Amino acid sequence: MTSPPAVSIRLPTASCWGSPEMTIEAATGGAARRRLRLGMVGGGQGAFIGAVHRIAARLDDRYELVAGALSSDAERARASAAELHIAPDRAYGSFAEMAEREAAREDGIDVVAVVTPNHMHAAPVRAFAERGIHVICDKPLTHRLEDALELVEVVRRAGIVFGLTHNYTGHPMVRQAREMVAAGELGTLRVVQVEYPQDWLTTRLEESGQKQAAWRTDPARSGAAGSVGDIGTHAFNLAEFVTGLRCESLAAELTAFVPGRPLDDNAQMLLRFGGGARGMLWSSQVAPGNENALRLRVYGEKGGLEWAQEQPNLLLHTPFGEPPRIISRAGAGASLAAAHASRIPAGHPEGYLEAFAQIYRDLAEQITARMESRQPDPACLLVPGLEAGLRGMRFIAAAVESGRNNAAWTEIGH
Amino acid sequence: MTSPPAVSIRLPTASCWGSPEMTIEAATGGAARRRLRLGMVGGGQGAFIGAVHRIAARLDDRYELVAGALSSDAERARASAAELHIAPDRAYGSFAEMAEREAAREDGIDVVAVVTPNHMHAAPVRAFAERGIHVICDKPLTHRLEDALELVEVVRRAGIVFGLTHNYTGHPMVRQAREMVAAGELGTLRVVQVEYPQDWLTTRLEESGQKQAAWRTDPARSGAAGSVGDIGTHAFNLAEFVTGLRCESLAAELTAFVPGRPLDDNAQMLLRFGGGARGMLWSSQVAPGNENALRLRVYGEKGGLEWAQEQPNLLLHTPFGEPPRIISRAGAGASLAAAHASRIPAGHPEGYLEAFAQIYRDLAEQITARMESRQPDPACLLVPGLEAGLRGMRFIAAAVESGRNNAAWTEIGH
Amino acid sequence: MTSPPAVSIRLPTASCWGSPEMTIEAATGGAARRRLRLGMVGGGQGAFIGAVHRIAARLDDRYELVAGALSSDAERARASAAELHIAPDRAYGSFAEMAEREAAREDGIDVVAVVTPNHMHAAPVRAFAERGIHVICDKPLTHRLEDALELVEVVRRAGIVFGLTHNYTGHPMVRQAREMVAAGELGTLRVVQVEYPQDWLTTRLEESGQKQAAWRTDPARSGAAGSVGDIGTHAFNLAEFVTGLRCESLAAELTAFVPGRPLDDNAQMLLRFGGGARGMLWSSQVAPGNENALRLRVYGEKGGLEWAQEQPNLLLHTPFGEPPRIISRAGAGASLAAAHASRIPAGHPEGYLEAFAQIYRDLAEQITARMESRQPDPACLLVPGLEAGLRGMRFIAAAVESGRNNAAWTEIGH
Amino acid sequence: MTSPPAVSIRLPTASCWGSPEMTIEAATGGAARRRLRLGMVGGGQGAFIGAVHRIAARLDDRYELVAGALSSDAERARASAAELHIAPDRAYGSFAEMAEREAAREDGIDVVAVVTPNHMHAAPVRAFAERGIHVICDKPLTHRLEDALELVEVVRRAGIVFGLTHNYTGHPMVRQAREMVAAGELGTLRVVQVEYPQDWLTTRLEESGQKQAAWRTDPARSGAAGSVGDIGTHAFNLAEFVTGLRCESLAAELTAFVPGRPLDDNAQMLLRFGGGARGMLWSSQVAPGNENALRLRVYGEKGGLEWAQEQPNLLLHTPFGEPPRIISRAGAGASLAAAHASRIPAGHPEGYLEAFAQIYRDLAEQITARMESRQPDPACLLVPGLEAGLRGMRFIAAAVESGRNNAAWTEIGH
């Protein structure tokens, strides 16, 4: 088999010390690359994902955190801001105040990161979008489908750049997988197997006062789904992102194994994709020995691909009738799409934070291009946005409905 | 966690050179251990599984092949017999003749191996069983459920020893997994994920004259299921064998991806087990890069287990809240059940043929004990038999029915 | 076996969403944690390791890059500085000028990162150290042992904080390995196997104009060793860091396989450690299929440990007579030393950049404590410094001497 | 890269159900293939390797065990023979008697397997060889080099077929590796890394009465080397077999870590090969967590190969500048040499016993051809014999001498 021309494979001269395509810090001809002014909603002391967003924003030096409404508790908000070098006058007590005052400043924020629990996404996103401030939002888009539908309209009308941190799409080898499928390397797809098992909710951790466990198992804050909303959406997004297919319907078995837990902690589904591919999705938070074992396997007429989050620098390519090949990030066989999302040489692992940072890096280019009234680098356009967010919400809604209906086939809609 | 007393863990003194429990060739106090007289139906020139059965029978030196009806083609039957050192007068043209004449001989066969295609199992099994000759039968039991039900009655009445070569149950670590579950090491089971992907039917191989592909994709010879009957049954059997649970119902999506193929080459199912465990099963013959990737994962309240056929000497044990442990056949942590099915030291891999041979070895003990009117060694009683055979047929029937009915939940029955 | 008390194992309540010991961004009680003012020597456009240092400095938000002498080419130095948001008046044409002027500023740099090629380490380190500016220096310490000996004296007299970026010591599981050995979990050590194969110099890449290949194979810029100095030092440092042993002598075979290459591209050595342990070290840049396959295996009377750079989140622990255990960063079995160097939950891989950042993070605490006249957090004291730098230089010198002397045993000295 | 014509790659039509090249039981046109009459010296009750030889002989049905001098203890010899169905008149009390009487019988043995401890190889080999009886001998050839030199002369004069069970050379992927190297797929070889760590002698097991540990650590029965003779020879043989190179000299560090043990339990060596390749060899019996972790890595100008005994069905091929490929036994990319040594489809693991049986199967063809005065199938000529046996003895002698001489370079000789 020869590589089809549609996939841009890097030449095998790439060494362990980098290749020209790697954009660890692209030269700009001596001009300082703009650092975007970033605000944050949520993410105060004790939060997890807020800190991840901040690292992601810092890593490639394209953002500067200058404002925040970091907590709904005023004292905590102030203290958190101080720890983060945010000036006191830009440490706000509410997102509403922040949106209003930042929009009014000459040097107001360019973009806001919304990192609150799910039920608190919609309001701040709307507030900033309506003031023309670009938005980076943690997933899922909202905690109810109806909110999501409304929000999408608002954001579209606002015309801002909107990115949803389905962070696994920032991995170089996920992007290469998508590129290879799109280029026809696997032929027509037939089978899509995706799973995301964890074990951290094997016992009733939410009773222990653990904050993450508490809100993620609470319908009021998480929405109608447990594992499905928290990690099943990542699996679903990954499957659609890589295959380019639309999942049309599903039959879902949702179970809450831990006594007293109101939301599913395990979900198993059959999937039907447009074009005839068939799939399975498994999400679980009660599978001992699994930490974050997100894994995607895709099979077509001509070959297969396999990727696993816990070893993200590798992509297994299995062309039918040939020995399997291990493609490594920035190694021989890595594509331009992978190189675009790489910082360091092959064999030096990049991980979760780098993939998260890639979302931020690509959005920085999108936002900067908008500000400079130019077309963005096309390689930076792969970031999930409103459409992916809505797909995720429809997926959750369909899964919950199917689960309540004895795993009956349920349309996902679009 | 301390090992619960119900599992017999070998002491860590076992060295790389074997331990007393290993039964590579158990001493018999100077008495020759009886070699059983074996006949074979099917398995002539060009067959695959017949040769595997013969190696399995030879490996532990408990059988001597002395008679055969190796092919329905008389000339081929004769030639095949000659190649196998079977005396000309015991090279039969039909199983019926063989059953009659062997039963009449003083030195007639003790046991027959039936290794014909699926639709040719029932008649010879009946013929030999009714003459009191013990039977080893390739799986699945028959090609139609109704035949299976009838056959079970016949064999039960005959009172013979009957073994079905669900060969994966012969692997030491599969047996240890079963023992650990039974001893409660995982607590109440919650999730059972099993899969058996292959890739050899990715293209329409049956058109090429390949004999195995031809009969395995032909409903007249294989039955109503393709991948489900050929390999899905192995996955199903493995799941029930290890968990000790009964799968009560399933929702199955059966697909024939290769144009013109009358039987499924891919199946995806949701499973509901007695006791509340939930599972998934995937069988595929169109997943490029998968050779025989049978894999079982089981999760309970207290831990998980994982076993993969392609690396059968290892068992991953993941007690919740502790680091995962890699238990190796005959290594530290291996149990008596594993030692019983081991021949050589840890780190020297045993494989497919040894597991197959274990079925033969255990059946030799069962048959010999019967002939000697004594109780068999209890460690030799794990071989799948009529009940497992019937479970397999019910599974196939339910999967096919569910598949025809838009993956509706279908009872498996018992 | 029960965990010996000397190792602080985290409780198994640590969830996938982090545990209190993780210091993703430790609360400071509402006070902004000091950001250190950082300068950089070397690392201008086209450099690799300079960009890595900058990411490492940014990742945990403890540094701000404010000054630089980024290139010996004035124009390039200016352009590079502009790209990095360094004010024009702090973009220097030489390290000497920078040292002088920054030392004179009220708001001058607290610390400088020296990231030039090996032969250009000593002079700038001395210049800054003598002015009381703390130093972070890329490895190896210098390109000649005699320079190193002199430099060590200078830096010791200066009394500054000095860190050498043997970045692999920043990996959480490397630190846990060290802690486990120190606590006696392996008993007395016997065997130390370490290797660092790469493949990027399999062909004569230095002829192609590739900048990294050019200086790393040039004795004038790299020193007397090729693979030994570039990667063998990492392997040596890792072995001594984890075992706590001192390697006393070695017998080294150095080979330049690629015709025309003046420095070794492959080295194989026998090692003798204090206390009687025996080891091997292999470094290679001509081993196709190896990217950065640094791997350490250590065996003692009671057990073994294995760690590999390409999968750095795992540590294999093999207590004798028990099943091997897979300890994962931040997972069950991870120690406090590992938690200290972790940012995100188990199963979300951290990689090369995070380990590099750990060196910077720990040095930030050391420097800050010095500035605040207090004792630093003891967990931050593991960063390699002068002693490790000198050990590395002695190792290189001994290996080169042994190599020239037909692999005769050669003392490493101390 | 296109496959060089000198390697016969099987066509990718090979399915999971076997391909024509597989010789599970090759058709012989209806003629019974001769079963060779086999005798055995050693291997009585309680022995390990004797039982392995018997399984190996049985597996492919080319031998029938008809005579034995199974123990030097007459009673034990008789009892062992009875258990193995050997007729009482062919159960001998000594090899000398057996050689004499079997040579005199019309239906005397065709071939004898010598499976005694090392110091008891030479005498029986000589006795049978001088009577024209073919010999299969366990490795190493003898326990002293001088005996080996003499024995080689005797056997050569006798003109018999002589096979030495360096069983790892029977693995399909080891043979493919050899074939690929010979065909130039790796270019000129540069680096050869081979190791064989175990852990079973980590403690002083020989004090416990364990029989295997006792003789293997006793110079009187094992020879002058411990781990070097027991497993180092396997590693050495594997390296020379695959590379086709001759190792010319070595520098060896031999250590006995366990107090009171007279022979080395750990050995580390530098190797120099003809043609300029450089290597390392490590054998250890005190490396906890290693069962039989024999592993070979070979690197040349154009690529590398890696094979590990514990996962013997795979061969990693790393062509420089291309993604690594996983070649599986009987899968896509497997060569004719691999197919020749395969019995069952890809993905169904074959293991230690099958590789051992391959030695027996190939020798059966060599012996049969000799008896039929025809040329043997060339594919069956790869079995190690006198030359390999002598190489092994020279290797042991050189390693012991070097070890006694502070790891000085020592010629291996030839």
**Whether residue B24 has pLDDT greater than 80:** no
**Would you call D199 an interface residue with chain B, using a CB distance cutoff of 8 Å?**
yes
Q: Which amino acid is at C226?
A: G
pLDDT for the residue numbered D8: 56
Interface contact A31-C83, CB threshold 8 A: yes
Say if strands B111-114 and C278-284 run parallel, antiparallel, or are unpaired.
unpaired
> What Cα–Cα distance (Å) separates residue D185 from each residue in C284, D8, D182?
20, 12, 8
pLDDT confidence tier of residue C13, bands split at 50, 70 and 90: very low
- Copy the structure tokens of residue C359: 């060196």
- Cβ neighbours of A327 in D, within 8 Å: 323
pLDDT for the residue numbered B102: 98
d(CA C166, CA C331): 25
Interface contact A348-C292, CB threshold 8 A: yes
pLDDT for the residue numbered B167: 97
Question: Residue A299: which of B287, B297, B318 has the nearest Cβ?
Answer: B287
**Would you call C93 an interface residue with chain D, using a CB distance cutoff of 8 Å?**
no
Strand-pairing partners, residue B41, are: B69, B114
DSSP-assigned letters across all residues of C251-267: EEEEE--STT-SS-SEE
d(CA A252, CA A282): 9
Write the CB contacts of D411 (distance below 8 Å, at least 6 apart in sequence).
D248, D249, D398
Mean pLDDT of A281-286: 98
Residue carrying the six token digits 């852990």: D199
Domain ranges of chain D: 36-160, 171-346+385-411
Phi-psi region of D65 (alpha: psi -120 to 50; beta: other; left: phi over 0): beta
Host H or E run for residue C192? strand C189-197
> What digits encode the pLDDT tens for the residues B235-265?
999 999 999 999 999 999 999 999 999 999 9
Question: Residue A58: which of C58, C85, C290 has the nearest Cβ?
Answer: C58
Write the CB contacts of C135 (distance below 8 Å, at least 6 apart in sequence).
C111, C112, C113, C114, C125, C128, C129, C155, C160, C161, C162, C163
pLDDT for the residue numbered D29: 57
Count of C-beta atoms within a 10 Å radius of residue B130: 15
Interface contact C54-A350, CB threshold 8 A: no
d(CA B410, CA B406): 11
> What Cα–Cα distance (Å) separates residue D411 from each residue in A2, B97, D229, D234, D386?
48, 69, 17, 19, 20
Beta carbon pairs, A and C, within 8 Å: 190
Write the CB contacts of A414 (distance below 8 Å, at least 6 apart in sequence).
A246, A391, A394
Mean pLDDT of C184-194: 98
Write the CB contacts of C146 (distance below 8 Å, at least 6 apart in sequence).
none
Host H or E run for residue D282? strand D278-284
> What digits encode the pLDDT tens for the residues A209-267?
787 788 778 888 878 899 999 999 999 999 999 999 999 999 999 999 999 999 999 99
Residue of A nearest to D13 (CA): A321
Cβ-based burial of B208 (10 A; exposed 0-12, middle 13-18, buried ≥19):
exposed
**Whether residue D207 has pLDDT greater than 50:** yes
Say if strands C314-319 and C303-308 run parallel, antiparallel, or are unpaired.
antiparallel
d(CA D265, CA C330): 36
Residues 53-72 of B with CB under 8 A from D: 54-55, 58-61
**Whether residue D245 has pLDDT greater than 70:** yes
Write the CB contacts of D285 (distance below 8 Å, at least 6 apart in sequence).
D197, D198, D199, D200, D201, D202, D226, D227, D230, D231, D265, D266
**Whether residue B13 has pLDDT greater than 70:** no
User: Which of D299, D306, D314, D410 is the best residue to mutate to test the C interface, defined by the most C CB atoms within 10 Å of its own CB?
Assistant: D299
pLDDT for the residue numbered D32: 62
Residue of B nearest to C321 (CA): B12
CATH number of B169-348+385-411: 3.30.360.10
**Whether residue D100 has pLDDT greater than 80:** yes
Three-class DSSP category at C135? strand
- Cβ neighbours of D333 in A, within 8 Å: 322-323
Host H or E run for residue D37? strand D36-41
pLDDT for the residue numbered D19: 47
Residue from D38, D34, D59 nearest B85 by CA: D34
**Structural contact between residues B10 and B172, judged by C-beta atoms closer than 8 angstroms:** no
> What digits encode the pLDDT tens for the residues C307-356?
999 999 999 999 999 999 999 999 989 999 999 999 999 999 999 999 99
Residue A241, min C-alpha distance to chain D (Å): 24
Residues 384-413 of A with CB under 8 A from B: 406-407, 409
> What digits encode the pLDDT tens for the residues A328-353?
999 989 999 999 999 999 999 999 99
**What is D171-346+385-411's CATH superfamily?**
Dihydrodipicolinate Reductase; domain 2 (3.30.360.10)
DSSP-assigned letters across all residues of C364-397: HHHHHHHHTTSPPPGGG--S--HHHHHHHHHHHH
Q: Which amino acid is at B174?
A: V
**Would you call A148 an interface residue with chain C, using a CB distance cutoff of 8 Å?**
no
Mean pLDDT of C100-122: 96
pLDDT confidence tier of residue B7, bands split at 50, 70 and 90: low
pLDDT confidence tier of residue D45, bands split at 50, 70 and 90: confident
The CATH number for B36-160, chosen from 3.40.50.720, 3.90.1200.10, 3.40.1360.10, 3.90.1150.10, is 3.40.50.720
**Structural contact between residues B273 and B240, judged by C-beta atoms closer than 8 angstroms:** no
Say if strands A134-137 and A111-114 run parallel, antiparallel, or are unpaired.
parallel
CATH number of A169-344+382-411: 3.30.360.10
Interface contact C326-B328, CB threshold 8 A: no
Cβ-based burial of C1 (10 A; exposed 0-12, middle 13-18, buried ≥19):
exposed
Give the lowest-confidence range in B232-236, D224-228, D350-354: D224-228
Residue B44, min C-alpha distance to chain A (Å): 29
**Structural contact between residues A368 and A34, judged by C-beta atoms closer than 8 angstroms:** yes
**Structural contact between residues D379 and D340, judged by C-beta atoms closer than 8 angstroms:** yes
Neighbours of chain B (3+ CB pairs under 8 A): A, C, D
Say if strands A303-308 and A314-319 run parallel, antiparallel, or are unpaired.
antiparallel
Mean pLDDT of D71-85: 92
Write down the H helix ranges in D113-267.
Answer: 122-129, 145-158, 172-182, 211-216, 219-222, 227, 233-243
pLDDT for the residue numbered C240: 98
Interface contact B266-A190, CB threshold 8 A: yes
> What digits encode the pLDDT tens for the residues D148-181?
999 999 999 999 999 999 999 999 999 999 999 9
d(CA C179, CA C156): 27
- Copy the structure tokens of residue B278: 């939930």
pLDDT for the residue numbered C355: 98
pLDDT for the residue numbered C30: 58
Strand-pairing partners, residue A112, are: A39, A135
**Whether residue B274 has pLDDT greater than 80:** yes
Say if strands A162-164 and A189-197 run parallel, antiparallel, or are unpaired.
unpaired
Cβ-based burial of C187 (10 A; exposed 0-12, middle 13-18, buried ≥19):
middle
pLDDT for the residue numbered A220: 84
Write the CB contacts of C215 (distance below 8 Å, at least 6 apart in sequence).
C117, C221, C222
Beta carbon pairs, C and D, within 8 Å: 115
Interface contact B409-A407, CB threshold 8 A: yes
**Percent of residues, chain C, with pLDDT higher than 90:** 83
pLDDT for the residue numbered A208: 86
Mean pLDDT of A296-305: 98
**Whether residue D10 has pLDDT greater than 60:** no
Mean pLDDT of A192-197: 98
- Copy the structure tokens of residue B201: 């039917």
**Whether residue D18 has pLDDT greater than 60:** no
Task: Determine the topology of domain C169-343+384-411 in CATH.
Answer: Dihydrodipicolinate Reductase; domain 2 (3.30.360)
Maximal C-alpha separation, chain A: 65
Interface contact B409-A409, CB threshold 8 A: no
- Cβ neighbours of D353 in B, within 8 Å: 59, 343-344, 350, 353-354
Write the CB contacts of A106 (distance below 8 Å, at least 6 apart in sequence).
none
Interface contact C326-B322, CB threshold 8 A: no
Mean pLDDT of B45-73: 93
Question: Residue C333: which of B322, B326, B328 has the nearest Cβ?
Answer: B322
Neighbours of chain C (3+ CB pairs under 8 A): A, B, D
**Would you call B79 an interface residue with chain D, using a CB distance cutoff of 8 Å?**
yes
**Would you call C347 an interface residue with chain A, using a CB distance cutoff of 8 Å?**
yes
**Would you call B249 an interface residue with chain A, using a CB distance cutoff of 8 Å?**
no
Is the pTM for the entire model greater than 0.80?
Answer: yes
Residue of C nearest to A171 (CA): C349
- Cβ neighbours of A79 in C, within 8 Å: 29-30
Give the lowest-confidence range in A300-304, A408-412, B141-145, B272-276: B141-145
Q: What is the mean pLDDT of chain A?
A: 92
pLDDT for the residue numbered D36: 97
**Whether residue B6 has pLDDT greater than 60:** no
d(CA B310, CA D348): 6
User: Which of B63, B204, B310, B327 is the best residue to mutate to test the D interface, defined by the most D CB atoms within 10 Å of its own CB?
Assistant: B310
- φ/ψ of residue B94, rounded to 5: -150, 155
Question: Residue D58: which of B61, B198, B350 has the nearest Cβ?
Answer: B61
- Copy the structure tokens of residue B202: 């990715």
Query: What single DSSP character describes residue D91?
Result: B
Q: Which amino acid is at C9?
A: I
d(CA A286, CA B34): 50
Interface contact C289-D324, CB threshold 8 A: yes
User: Which of C15, C173, C322, C329 is the best residue to mutate to test the B interface, defined by the most B CB atoms within 10 Å of its own CB?
Assistant: C322
Neighbours of chain D (3+ CB pairs under 8 A): A, B, C
Residue from C348, C391, C369, C340 nearest C170 by CA: C340
Say if strands D278-284 and D189-197 run parallel, antiparallel, or are unpaired.
parallel
**Whether residue B41 has pLDDT greater than 90:** yes
ipTM over 0.95 threshold = no
> What digits encode the pLDDT tens for the residues C252-283?
999 999 999 999 999 999 999 999 999 999 99
- Copy the structure tokens of residue B100: 């009659």
